[in-house]
Structure 1
Amino acid sequence: MAKLKLGALIDDKPVKVTVELPAMLHRDLVAYAEVLARQSRRDISDPTKLIAPMLARFIQTDRGFAKARRDQGSQKTDRAEP
């Protein structure tokens, strides 16, 4: 079985956000939840619960974003010094 990028879900205090998904993306999300449920042997009753961990994983692995964030941090540090 293929290893998915998304691992086990953790419980965390959520922030409510409303998002509209294209129908095709929603179907893919449901299919992903089914595969993940089989792999983890845990029921995933609400596929929308995968959106936050997927988004977090995407941000964590985006090298361009990490570089931009580092560059932004170094600019703040440069301005803070006299």
Structure 2
Amino acid sequence: MQRTNLYLDERQTTALDQLARAEGVSRAEVVRRLIDRSLATEPSELDTDLAAIESSFGALVDAPTVRRGPDRRAAHLDSIRRR
């Protein structure tokens, strides 16, 4: 390992210390984990989820729509909206 100095503002230091305490590790370990996560070449779960959402956008544009007539649920929702 190589030693590296970082200058952090008070907000960053506080957040880093809180995260370190919550994970039961040192401040340096949290920094190393965050750097590893940001440099990872594999997409994160969030990236994968966002890609799936993006690729599905507009998938149902040609799907037939379901028309609902007045029913008890619609009447209930209308009564709530009018309050």
TM-score normalised to structure 2 length: 0.29
TM-score (norm 1): 0.30
Question: Quick one: higher RCO (CA 8 Å, sep 6+), 1 or 2?
Answer: 1
